[in-house]
Amino acid sequence: MGAPQDYDRKEILYRIGTFFLLMGIGLLVFFLLSESAGQPTFSYFCWSMITLILGFFFRAQYKKAVPSSGRFSILKKLKPKSKKEEAKK
């Protein structure tokens, strides 16, 4: 009755950050639409900035480890190694 096996707190925060980013963009669009209608609603702008900042903050907490795609593995093999890399081996 605890957390699921693959539960990662930082990944959940990353998804919440994505939600806040989308909400911030939506509120910013509402603000721009109200501005173009000639009746600007600045609360939309303020809340969009707050949610955008929160979204970026939450998403910055989690860095996904991206595995190498292997697209340039041939070029890496052909590239001469530096002396520091040779000394490590």
pLDDT cut 90: percent of the chain above it: 47
Number of residues assigned to the chain: 89
- Among 3-7, 40-44, 47-51, 77-81, the minimum mean pLDDT is found in 3-7
pLDDT for position 29: 97
The pLDDT tens digits of the residues spanning 48-74 come to 999 999 999 998 887 766 677 777 777
81 versus 59: which is more confidently predicted? Answer: 59
Output the DSSP codes for 27-43.
HHHHHHHHHHTT---HH
